[in-house]
Chain A
Amino acid sequence: MSTKEQRERIELLQGTLDLLILRTLILGPTHGHAIAKAIEFKSDDVLQVEQGSLYPALHRLIKRGWISAEEGTSENNRRAKFYRLTAKGRRQLVLETSKWDKLAGAIARILRPSEQEGKS
């Protein structure tokens, strides 16, 4: 990995990992490694998740009752823990998504004019 490559990857904002996990699980229950892969893949590898940090986040979501864990078998026939979105988690996802949209919109509105100033 070159330094340049590293610079292009962005550290996750606090709390957004939870949102991404919930979003990933809406497609169906899956295991931890798959979640990490999915987040990296879908963000075109821009978002850098230190894969380990996924697990405390998963535990946190279980504690809050937004996801549940169950035993399952992975694609290459290994035993693994599968995480499933609960009804409560689904509601939370809707809520968090709309909050995120508002936040992103607001930040974008603030940033855009300054960008133009910089160009002129």
Chain B
Amino acid sequence: MRRRKRMLDELEQDIREHIEMETQDNIARGMSPEEARYAAVRKFGNVTRVQEDAREVWSFVWLEQLWQDVRFGLRMLRKSPVFTTVAVLTLAFGIGANTAIFSLIDAVLLRSLPVENPAQLVLLKWSARKAPNIHGMMSSGDCPMDMGGGLFNPNGCSFSEPMYSEIAQANIFSGTAAFANTGKLDLTGNGPASVINGQLISGDFFHTMGLKPAVGRLLDASDDTPAAAPVTVLNYGYWQSAFGGSREVIGRTIELNAVPFTIVGVAEQRFTGITPGSDYDVWVPLSKQQKINPLKGMDALGGQDRQHDVGFWWLTIVGRLKPGTSLAQAQAVVSGMFRNEVLHGAVLLFPGGKMGALPIPRAGGPSMAASAAPPAAAQLAPGNAAIQMHGEGAGGPTGQAAGNEKTQFTMDAQLQGVVPAAGGAHPTETEAPSAPRTLATADDNPQVRLVSAQSGLSGQRAHYTDPLYVLMLAVGIILLIACANVAGLMLARAAARQKEMAVRLALGAGRARIVRQLLTESVMLSVLGGLLGILFAYWGAHTIISFLSSNQAWPLGFATGVDLRVLGFTVAISLFTGILFGVAPAFRGARVDLTPTLKEGEGSSAGSRQSGGRWFSAGNLLVVAQVALAVVVLVGAGLLVRTLQNLRSVDLGFDAHNILIFGIDPTLAGYKAAQADNLYRDLQGRLAETPGVNSASYSMMPLLSNGLMITMFHWPGTPEDQTAESDVLDVGANFFETLHIPFLAGRGFGVSDFELAAANSGDKPTSAPTPVIVNQSFVQKYLGKENPIGKPFGESAAGPLGAATPGYEIVGVVRDAKYNDLRREIHPMMYSPQHAGGATFELRTAADPQALLPAVREVVGQVNGNLPLFNVTTQSEQIDRLLFQERLVARLAGFFGVLALVLACIGLYGLLSYEVSRRTREIGIRIALGAQPERVLKLMLWQGIALAMVGAAVGIGVALGVTRYLGSMLFNVRASDPLTMSAVAVLLALVALAACYIPARRATRVDPMVALRYE
């Protein structure tokens, strides 16, 4: 570069020297000095051009030409502000919408885990051919779990604590962390009592993640021993919101479920939780689980404590690979340990041959048993990770345990009856798996796979993946429309600039150069659009996230914002867009036929005849493409909106208006089961008397909260090994009256029913069956015409599998009502009298339920000031929350649909306006020759409408092919719904008519005199 500068600086001197020498030579030949100098200069040639050429030798030509192009382009854009504004705005919408959705995808799906070197972290996932014979399986929602219907290829990422200890001690990883949800924690000691969400973590957790404290210290191995004093670490966000970010907080004591914990530190800001979407307020050592949830789950059922229970799988395990250890090596070791443990351990978890005959719980998702466990062992149905998020009734481990009573007893029987054969008898494949007492079989093929924690810990991600991809598709189409739109504008402009191009070509500009210059202009437009789009995207993503958050009971731990990846995406998409829409007009512009263009004026009749008759002109094709794409988006949006409408108008089976609901869990505050029951009855009475409350009741969890429990039982008259199943919900007195679910037969629960239910769920069940109320579907499925009232079922005799249980007796039949969500069909369902556990109160109010909240809080406070209410909402809000994904998608898709329509119509309008101005002379002649205005109007309208119709037809064809992929998101509407299709077509026709009418109208006002002079 320096050489360049020196050479160019000295060039002038050199030239002067050269001319001087030549002059001297000429004088020597006998010329006069003036003559000599003149000849020398003439012989040298154009000094300026020589300098320019020399400069060009040294310069980066393309860079300087690019700069020229940019400056020229800016001038051109400034010269036509309307075109520029429309194009930039169109592109800003397209690019902005894409950037917004992409930033969400980035935040939810792509962003790396907020830990040191996330690539080294691996998640342990087990799989097998059959479900393991365990009595507790719990997922904290960190990764999907599939029990494979109990029989086929189940998998998951929950492990028992002994398994974790063994893996951690084997030193395979440089750090091994285990964690699980604490469930709801009742926090006191910091102002009024509140309910927070925590995570139990092994001592190695923070070390494994490579995290640093923001304040104080993090937990380490010494904190995670039963003897260690209870300590906790706060989430940075929670520290800010609940403790005002005060450093004084270190050393303070708070009570979690009435157990004092000392705050020792705050985790660094970036770490909101290891799983995307999770947002834990506090972290507590794993060893304190017994203390904070003393009565829960298996522990309450008289099983072992979890720490030593190989049959209770509840921990998610993440390891950090040692440098130099490959994933395959570590996997082989871990998998070997797992096989050994489950096939040859003290308790056989895959007992050969026995499994097939066992009634395996059908369900998948986080399983849980009500505290009222026997005889109604229950579990949550698949796909309900959201239960943790909503925290209804049984958030995470507060109410887990599991499976089915019979499974559990089978397991006990094995504990007693089966003595493992001297540890290592490796059964071969030839051993018949069905042979009784075969200890274990490799046939079940239990194994562990290591997957990257980044992809394995999906958490909340799973809920957003599908909608996000649908939206990404929609905005991708929008961008295409925007491109087609701007390409149309550019084409029209290229036609208008033909003369300019011809002049440039005539003056010797290279065609490549002209193409490049036009491309520069389009890329500049798209970059301007991109800049504006980023603002638009920032605002859009923010709006979407706040919409999402407003629908969550727990905050959503997704960090959004424009990061480098998003910026890179925007830059890439801007350039891509610019080239995409610029390339056709650019080549068109450069392909000018010189002579005619230079001779003729713009808008001449000859030119219009040439392109006016071509139906397949680029402009027409672009408009058809725009309309077609818009139709695709509109059809998709229409289907999603119809889905939302259908869901909203579903018959719930109960009246959701004017119901206030709130959760309360006295067991967190140390209430025993009987005390809790009394509290509920006391509260129910007081609340019912509160002015404004018409009726009050409670249930284990609210309806339509995504929570679901299913129970298995034996139906009398069916084969012994066949199980029947039914949805089940524990409810308080007056539940049906409060929710307005009408009785069809029988009666409601009375005081004695609750006492009987309480007795039957205790250690010594009575001989009287538990009274239950069933729904219509139950009667239809199991009873048919038989009189349901008084019908007993589910009784089990005492036997090797356990003590006798009295089963149930139907005392009433109620109308069908929706249970966990709106999409699931109504299943057979039984309501049983609630006993113990947490509860959700439902209050039927006379007016606005929210207005009653202070009064309700006061009533609860009178009973016990330390009982926090959680998930305070109304039934309608609850339903909205349930539908948030549908609402979000419908709203966004609707917005994008309208955007697509508007853009397509702008395109149509633009094309037609251009046609009208180009054919002004022709129209003038027609009018001069006596054409009526109506005919001219029709002539112009026809072109626009025909294009719109072709576009709509193509669009509906494409939509029919594409909307199939929406299938899983739709409800009560087919992907090929003819109503939606025709509505979209009609809407499009009307809007297209309006878009065409304005320019067509202008055509009728053409003054023939002006038009004919127009040149």
Contact = CB atoms under 8 A, between A and B. Distances in A.
Interface of A: 31-33, 36-37, 50-53, 55-56, 59-60, 62-63, 69, 74, 76, 78-81
Most buried by B among A51, A52, A63, A76: A52
Given A59-B7, A63-B58, A69-B7, A51 B53 contact: no
Contact of B21 (A33, A59, A62): A33
Contacts of A50: 43-45
27 contacts: A31-B17, A32-B14, A33-B17, A33-B21, A33-B22, A36-B18, A37-B25, A50-B45, A51-B43, A52-B45, A52-B46, A52-B49, A55-B15, A55-B18, A56-B53, A56-B54, A56-B56, A59-B7, A60-B57, A62-B3, A62-B7, A74-B17, A74-B21, A76-B21, A78-B20, A78-B21, A79-B17
Contact of A56 (B3, B18, B20, B57): B57
B54 A51 contact: no
B159 to A, nearest CB: 68
Given A53-B45, A69-B7, A80-B21, 7 more contacts: A52-B46, A53-B53, A56-B57, A74-B17, A76-B24, A79-B17, A80-B17
- The B contact surface, by secondary structure, is helix
B44 A52 contact: yes
B50 interface: yes
A60 to B, nearest CB: 5
B11 interface: yes
A28 B25 CA distance: 22
Most buried by B among A33, A50, A81: A33
A118 to B, nearest CB: 34
B14 A55 contact: yes
B10 interface: yes
B47 interface: yes
Nearest to B45: A52
B7 A33 contact: no
Contacts of B14: 32, 55, 80-81
Contacts of B58: 59, 63
Nearest to A32: B18
Contact of A59 (B24, B44, B57): B57
A52 B43 CA distance: 8
Interface size range on B against A: 20 to 34
A1 B401 CA distance: 110
Contacts of B11: 55, 59
- The A contact surface, by secondary structure, is helix
Contacts of A52: 15, 44-47, 49-50
Contacts of B54: 55-56, 59
Nearest to A60: B57
A73 to B, nearest CB: 11
Nearest to B52: A56
Interface of B: 3, 7, 10-11, 14-15, 17-18, 20-22, 24-25, 43-47, 49-50, 53-54, 56-58
A78 B17 contact: yes
B44 A51 contact: yes
Contacts of B15: 52, 55
Contacts of A74: 17, 21
A59 B49 CA distance: 14
A78 B24 CA distance: 12
B768 to A, nearest CB: 104
A59 B57 CA distance: 7
Contacts of A76: 21, 24
B45 A81 contact: no
Q: Which 5 A-B pairs have the closest CB atoms?
A: A52-B45, A56-B53, A52-B50, A33-B21, A50-B45
A78 B20 CA distance: 10
B292 to A, nearest CB: 77
A25 to B, nearest CB: 16
A51 B17 contact: no
A51 B3 CA distance: 23
A76 B57 CA distance: 30
Contacts of A31: 17
B50 A33 contact: no
Most buried by B among A31, A76, A78, A81: A81
A48 B888 CA distance: 78
A74 B20 CA distance: 12
A37 B46 CA distance: 18
Contacts of A32: 14, 17-18
A78 B57 CA distance: 27
A72 to B, nearest CB: 11
A7 B10 CA distance: 35
Contacts of B49: 52
A55 B15 CA distance: 8
B734 to A, nearest CB: 95
A6 to B, nearest CB: 13
A51 B47 CA distance: 10
Contacts of B53: 53, 55-56
B18 A51 contact: yes
A39 to B, nearest CB: 13
A41 to B, nearest CB: 12
A3 to B, nearest CB: 16
Contacts of A36: 18
A36 B18 CA distance: 10
Given A56-B56, A59-B54, A62-B7, A51 B20 contact: no
A5 B516 CA distance: 43
A41 B264 CA distance: 94
Contacts of A59: 7, 11, 54, 57-58
Contacts of A37: 25
Contacts of B3: 62
Contacts of A53: 45, 50, 53
Most buried by A among B22, B44, B46, B56: B44
A109 to B, nearest CB: 34
A39 B24 CA distance: 19
Nearest to B53: A56
Given A60-B57, A69-B7, A76-B24, A55 B17 contact: no
A62 B14 CA distance: 15
A56 B17 contact: no
Contacts of B47: 52
A10 to B, nearest CB: 16
B632 to A, nearest CB: 54
Nearest to A81: B14
A80 B15 CA distance: 10
A60 B56 CA distance: 9
Contacts of A81: 10, 14, 17
A55 B50 contact: yes
A37 B21 CA distance: 11
Contacts of A51: 18, 22, 43-45
A55 B10 CA distance: 11
B57 A63 contact: yes
A59 B54 CA distance: 6
Nearest to A69: B7
Nearest to B48: A52
A36 B44 CA distance: 10
B128 to A, nearest CB: 70
Contacts of B21: 33, 74, 76, 78, 80
